[in-house]
Amino acid sequence: MSLLSFFTWCENSAMGEAIRGSRWLFPAIESFHLLALAVIGGAVLLMNLRLLGFGVQRQPASQIWRDTRPWLLGSLFVMIVSGLLLFTSEAVKLYYHEAFWVKMTSLVLATLFTFRVQRPVALADPARITPLRSKATALISILLWSLVGIGGRWIGFS
């Protein structure tokens, strides 16, 4: 089965047809998707502002990481589930849409970066992390997560 065949199958599924055929399902699901994006954006921003040396200075980065992690994971879960539901309603269109691939690539990279690169920096002893590494980690994270949001808006407006 080719990737396009899989996308076609998703769009023609009962779920895809139900969402596409309903007046309210797509906007309701999209509302949850956007709320989750706002929550993940807040969690990411808090962590990155701390790594940049702004924001919550009285708490160590490790505490900010532990405090924002449940919000990050919960909103990531809601974003993925709602995104998959939205995807089924117009999968073939998305297959041909550059923004979809930008968003998906950015989402994978941002998630991997957050848990493989940023997490160890946030949890490390501050004396062992250089300010340059901390700031570079934050800026890359902001860039990757911004690309996820930009890709999503690009899909929404085309």
* Selection from 150, 140, 130 nearest residue 47 by Cα: 140
Residues in the chain: 158
- How confident is the model at residue 128, as a pLDDT? 92
Q: Which two tokens stand for residue 122?
A: 């946030």
Can you give the pLDDT at residue 104? 97
Kindly state the DSSP code that residue 158 receives in the 8-state scheme: -
Give the DSSP letter of residue 118: I
Average pLDDT of the chain to the nearest whole number: 95
How would DSSP label each residue in 29-69?
HHHHHHHHHHHHHHHHHHHHHHHHT-S--SS-HHHHHHHHH
Output the CA–CA distances (angstroms, integers) from residue 15 to 24, 138, 141, in the order listed: 14, 38, 33
- Structure-token pair, residue 25: 């399902």
List pLDDT tens digits, range 27-68: 999 999 999 999 999 999 999 999 999 878 889 999 999 999
Predicted pLDDT of residue 56: 82
Contacts of 32 (CB under 8 A, 6+ apart): 78, 82
d(CA 155, CA 33): 13
Instruction: Determine the pLDDT at residue 3.
Output: 97
Domain ranges of the chain: 3-156
pLDDT one-digit tens code per residue, 117-147: 999 999 999 889 999 999 999 999 999 999 9
60-80 per-residue burial string, b: 16 or more CB within 10 A, e: under 16: ebbebbeebbebbeebbebbe
Helices 98-113 and 131-156: crossing angle, nearest 10°? 150
* Predicted pLDDT at 142: 97
